[in-house]
A and B are shown apart, each in its own frame.
Chain A
Amino acid sequence: AQSVTQLDSHVSVSEGTPVLLRCNYSSSYSPSLFWYVQHPNKGLQLLLKYTSAATLVKGINGFEAEFKKSETSFHLTKPSAHMSDAAEYFCVVTPTGTASKLTFGTGTRLQVTL
């Protein structure tokens, strides 16, 4: 069985300050982990992925995430928020080495204020 828990349903930051979106996972197998972003009225876009290579993963738009097996965490960070980062973010898990279904977290809505 696999699952992800996004610890915050809503995060608000000021433009130019760091972003931290938290995700913990549970998986019976060695997992692949992802972050997807969904802007209002848009489809889901892959932000970054971890598939058992480097534990620090860099994604698009300055985001990165670190896979910490000991903490079963995969938190998403960005050093400096931009207004265009306002969106909903989903942490996702799937067992490595399979083409099986993605399991989504419940989402974190990021608000960026001036």
Chain B
Amino acid sequence: DVKVTQSSRYLVKRTGEKVFLECVQDMDHENMFWYRQDPGLGLRLIYFSYDVKMKEKGDIPEGYSVSREKKERFSLILESASTNQTSMYLCASSLTGARGYGYTFGSGTRLTVV
């Protein structure tokens, strides 16, 4: 089974801190995604990457950046954390052409910014 591993299950950070959320997948998937999940809003796409060093903005990229130096790893960076970035963050990966059913999600990182 494909595994998508997010490095932390819970994180508490202070306002203004630089925060790194890490995601690693073990099945050589080309595509990787970062979503944010909030009650009543569902999942919203922050950034995605379809290849190493390639990235594209999703629907809510403001306040975030990403890094993909290796195929298996996709990092989400909060340059200066703010309280409105308190949320559940989900990473996913897929093969090119998977059309949705090949997406595998990690278990999520619940980030609290105080």
Task: Give the B-binding residues of A (Cβ under 8 A).
Answer: 6, 9, 32, 34, 41-46, 49, 51, 90, 92, 94, 96-99, 101-107
B42 A104 Cβ-Cβ under 8 A: yes
Contact of B43 among A9, A32, A45, A90 (CB under 8 A): A90
- Contact partners of B89 in chain A: CB under 8 A: none
Task: Give the A-binding residues of B (Cβ under 8 A).
Answer: 4, 30-31, 33, 35, 40-45, 48, 50, 58, 90, 92, 94-101, 103, 105-108
A101 B42 Cβ-Cβ under 8 A: no
With A104-B42, A105-B42, A106-B40 in contact, is A99–B108 under 8 Å at CB? no
Closest 9 interchain pairs by CB?
A104-B43, A106-B42, A44-B105, A104-B42, A43-B107, A43-B105, A49-B101, A99-B96, A94-B100
A9 B98 Cβ-Cβ under 8 A: no
With A44-B90, A99-B50, A99-B97 in contact, is A104–B44 under 8 Å at CB? yes
B100 A102 Cβ-Cβ under 8 A: yes
A34 B40 Cβ-Cβ under 8 A: no
- Contact partners of B105 in chain A: CB under 8 A: 43-45
A34 B58 Cβ-Cβ under 8 A: no
Q: Shortest CB–CB separation between residue B96 and chain A, in angstroms? A: 5
A99 B31 Cβ-Cβ under 8 A: yes
**Bound CA span A94–B100, Å:** 7
Which of B4, B40, B98, B105 gathers most chain A CB within 10 Å? B105
Contact of A42 among B50, B98, B107 (CB under 8 A): B107
Known: A34-B101, A101-B48. 16 other contacts (CB 8 A): A6-B42, A32-B100, A34-B100, A44-B92, A45-B105, A51-B100, A94-B99, A96-B99, A99-B30, A99-B94, A99-B96, A99-B98, A101-B33, A101-B45, A105-B42, A106-B41
Smallest CB gap from A103: residue in B: B45
Q: Shortest CB–CB separation between residue A36 and chain B, in angstroms? A: 8
- Contact partners of A96 in chain B: CB under 8 A: 99
- Contact partners of B35 in chain A: CB under 8 A: 104
Which of A6, A99, A103 gathers most chain B CB within 10 Å? A99
